[in-house]
Structure 1
Amino acid sequence: MPTVTFITPSGASRTIQAKVGNSLMETARDHGVDGIVAECGGACACSTCHVFLEPEWCDKVPPVAELEADLLEFTSEPATEYSRLSCQIRITDALEGLTVRISSRQK
Structure 2
Amino acid sequence: MTDTIHITVENQLGEIRQLEIPEGINLSLMEVLKASDYDILATCGGMALCATCHIEVLEGMEALEARSDAELDMLDTLPRAGDQSRLACQIRLNAALDGLKIRIFANN
TM tier, smaller: 0.7 to 0.9
Q: Does 1:15 align with 2:18?
A: yes
CA apart distance, 1:43? 1.3
Higher share in strand: 2
Q: CA deviation at 1:10?
A: 2.6
Q: Name the TM-score, length of structure 1 as normaliser.
A: 0.87
CA distance in 2, matches of 1:67, 1:6: 24
Identity across aligned pairs (percent)? 34
Q: What SS does the aligned partner of 1:15 have?
A: strand
* CA positional deviation for 1:31: 1.1
Deviations 1:67-91 (A, max 9, x none): 000000223x510000000000111
How far does residue 18 in structure 1 lie from its aligned partner after superposition?
2.3
Partner of 1:106: 107
Q: Secondary structure at the match of 1:18?
A: strand
CA distance in 2, matches of 1:106, 1:9: 9
Q: Which amino acid aligns with 2:107?
A: Q
Task: Please state if 1:90 is matched with 2:95.
Answer: no
Q: Distance in 1 between matches of 2:77 and 2:41?
A: 15
Runs of 5+ unmatched residues, structure 1: none
| Segment of structure 1 superposing worse, 79-88 or 94-103 | 94-103
Identify unmatched segments of 5+ residues in structure 2. none
Moved over 4 A (4+): none
RMSD: 1.4
In 1, the alpha carbon distance for the partners of 2:68 and 2:7 equals 22
